[in-house]
Amino acid sequence: MNRVITLNEFIIEKQKDFPYSSGELTGLLSDIGVAAKIVNREVNKAGLVNILGATENSNIQGETQQKLDVYANHQFVSAFRSGAEVAAIASEEEEDICVYQNEISRDAKYVVAFDPLDGSSNIDVNVSIGTIFSIYRRVTKGVCTREDFLQKGMYQVAAGYVIYGSSTMLVFTTGNGVNGFTLDPSIGEFCLSHPNLKTPENGSIYSINEGHYNDLPEGIKQYLNWCKESNKADNRPYSARYIGSMVADFHRNLIKGGVFIYPQTAHSPNGKLRLLYECNPMAFIAEQAGGKASTGKQRVLELQPTALHQRVPIIIGSKNMVEKVEQMLEQFSPVSTL
Ligand code: AHM
Ligand code: MG
């Protein structure tokens, strides 16, 4: 039987390969693992403890916050505050950045942008949800500012997600490939289950909210019609799979091969998903696994962020599939018509 490698063993072993390897990133990833286990415990017993359902509050996006969103946000904020590695955080659930002023954190090197519980509309219906995180080295001196977060995705030091699904997994990259860990509930440890994950260059799954069909750019409509045509050579018609939790849709496509699309629509000219804590971390993972992430016009990781909660269109997944969507957009939706 193969020896089990736990998350902590893995990150200590790989520490020398981490960017700026000085131990802080190791500590930070370990803190994320602990917070993920605590959130996982609550997600799994949610129905039992009456924690399900919406709170009275709305978050900055005007969406009703689910109780578990608030709980997950609190767990990750506390984990980052109590470690000595994070100087400030930006969360989907907080309007502005939160700067840690205590003695151990204020001189820390890293900032973290995260979505504590993505896909929260699926909480009440037992469908997979996730946590997404993006780690940068701060660029300012003194008290952290938004500038520390408004860095291009290509400067991420590490990024990852936790999927609370039929099993719970932590998948992350430090810029040296992608590794996936599955939580073994019997020992309470994340164990290396998907070393050096690579995504297929081609796939036969497309994931999009097709309810927006009438509002989509012409190039995306044409792509969807193309996916449905029969062509044995490239396995068409493709299968449509859409969970409505980006983490779950992305994770399935990462493993099986596929493309996830959340484009601009007539009603949401910038799409729905947030650049800093949804698109950039997923784009970093996709590229590190051999896939691709594009806005339709440019590489996601090269976008210069201008706001913490900025939204961008995204086409992400298997390289050849993303390129096909880009071609169709270029052909049928020239930039002036987008
Ligand atoms: P959330 O962060 O409020 O949960 O919203 C993000 C989620 C993604 O997980 C998912 O891909 C998308 O919203 C689904 O949106 P839609 O319901 O418009 O298809
Ligand atoms: Mg989200």
Fold annotation for 205-332: D-Maltodextrin-Binding Protein; domain 2 (3.40.190)
Q: Which backbone phi and psi does 231 adopt, to 5 degrees?
A: -160, 105
Residue ranges per domain, the chain? Answer: 7-194, 205-332
16 pLDDT more than 70: yes
Q: Rounded mean pLDDT of 35-41?
A: 95
Name the residue with the closest Cα to ligand 1, atom 2.
Answer: 118
1 pLDDT more than 70: no
Residue 262: both structure tokens together: 């959340």
C-alpha 166 – ligand 1 centre gap (Å): 19
Longest CA–CA span in the chain (Å) reads: 63
**Choice from 262, 279, 316 to test ligand 1 binding pocket (greatest atom count within 8 A of CB):** 262
Question: pLDDT tens-digit profile of 101-153?
Answer: 877 777 899 999 999 999 988 888 889 999 999 999 999 998 999 999 999 99
Q: What pLDDT was estimated at residue 124? A: 81
Q: Which atom of ligand 1 is least distant from the CA of 115? A: 2
Contact 193, 186 (CB under 8 A): no
Contact 52, 138 (CB under 8 A): no
Name the residue with the closest Cα to ligand 1, atom 12.
Answer: 244
Predicted TM-score (pTM) of this structure: 0.94
Name the residue with the closest Cα to ligand 1, atom 4.
Answer: 119
Q: What pLDDT was estimated at residue 88? A: 95
Pairing of strands 110-118, 86-91: parallel
Name the residue with the closest Cα to ligand 1, atom 5.
Answer: 119
Burial 214-244 (b: 16+ CB within 10 A, else e): eebbebbbbbbebbeeeeeeeeeebeebbbe
Q: What pLDDT was estimated at residue 14? A: 87
Lining ligand 1 with CB less than 6 A are 63, 92, 115, 118-120, 209, 244-246, 262, 272
Report the C-alpha gap between 188 and 139 in whole angstroms: 36
CATH architecture for the domain at 7-194: 2-Layer Sandwich (3.30)
Enumerate residues 6+ apart whose C-beta is below 8 A from 267.
Answer: 212, 215
